[in-house]
Amino acid sequence: MDRILISACLLGHAVRYDGKGKLLVHPAIDRWREEGRLVTICPEMAGGMAVPRPPAEIENGLTGEDVLDGKARVIEVTGGDVTAEFVAGAERALAFASDNGCTFALLIDGSPSCGSGLIYDGSFAGIKHAGRGVTAALFRRSGIDVFSHRDIDLLAERLRK
């Protein structure tokens, strides 16, 4: 049975930077939970970050791949550099996913960690651009199929095949 790593915030856990969750309500979530497919983690908390915490973005419109390659940093709105925490969280999330046999991930889009299609551009002006967060990028490099919370129906279809 294919297992799915899911962002903890999507299950309503209060782990986001603002101390809230972002509950994703969908029949597939209920089914996968009953089937024992879901494995839950917040990569940012796994990297040692607190809740709440200052908002963070990848600098200069770059991506999670750039962070993993040492070409970009993850910066808090306060100016703090939290790159090490984001990379450590991604590595711990990948180890957790591997240990639990996850071949898929369902991640919250927009996050500098979990964004799988869109992330903020580093200006803290609410502007998104195409790109992946640090964890999503590491998962893809490692062969885990990553889906955005907006693409849950695509993931459900993929699992049916």
* Owning domain of residue 119: 3-160
Q: How confident is the model at residue 161 (pLDDT cuts 50, 70, 90)?
A: confident
Q: Contact 1/35 with Cβ under 8 angstroms?
A: yes
Q: Contact 101/95 with Cβ under 8 angstroms?
A: no
Structural domain tally of the chain?
1
Phi, psi of 61 (to 5 degrees): 70, 20
Burial of 34 (0-12, 13-18, 19+ CB in 10 A): exposed
Instruction: Return the percentage of the chain with pLDDT > 90, whole number.
Output: 98
- pLDDT tens, 40-84? 999 999 999 999 999 999 999 999 999 999 999 999 999 999 999
**Selection from 49, 29, 32, 33 nearest residue 114 by Cα:** 49
Residues 6 or more apart in contact with residue 106 via CB below 8 angstroms:
4, 5, 6, 7, 10, 24, 147, 148, 149, 152, 155
Q: What integer best gives the mean pLDDT of the chain?
A: 97
Q: What confidence score (pLDDT) does residue 1 get? A: 84
Q: What confidence score (pLDDT) does residue 113 get? A: 98
| Mean pLDDT within 147-156 | 96
Separation of alpha carbons 14 and 131, rounded Å: 25
Phi, psi of 102 (to 5 degrees): -80, 130
pTM attached to this predicted model: 0.97
Q: What confidence score (pLDDT) does residue 2 get? A: 92
Separation of alpha carbons 102 and 6, rounded Å: 10
